[in-house]
Amino acid sequence: MYQNYSDAVFTAEIPKDVQAYEDATEAYCDALGEEAGKLEEESVKAYSYCLDTALKLNWFNEWSQTCEAELSQIRPQDFPSAAEIRATPDEIPLTLDISPVVGDIKK
């Protein structure tokens, strides 16, 4: 939610009457940037909490991956993307001999 608001504020259109004056445009953009920065900081806190909790619980799913990806997108210098290479688990040992669970029952 905070990230969506931050994006909306960063990309807000400058009103026409403000665009007429260069100083007003600069002040308007500075004010919007300051407010968007506060919202972005809240989103970083929320995503960090999500990722920290997943790490503590050793519980990873699509939500923790989303938190990690968003942090990497918002602050790549602080949260670099994980670039793990994972092989497909296809190295299953071959069983050559099968023995029955119950052997022959003598009468």
pLDDT in tens, 19-45: 888 898 899 889 988 988 888 899 999
| 8 A C-beta contact, residue 25 and residue 19 | yes
3-state SS class at 97 = coil
pLDDT mean over 82-104: 68
d(CA 81, CA 86): 15
pLDDT of residue 104: 67
pLDDT of residue 46: 92
Average pLDDT, the chain: 82
64: amino acid identity, one letter: S
pLDDT of 49 higher than 90 = yes
Contacts of 73-82 spanning 24+ positions with Cβ under 8 A: 74/3, 74/40, 74/43, 74/44, 74/47, 75/44
43: amino acid identity, one letter: S
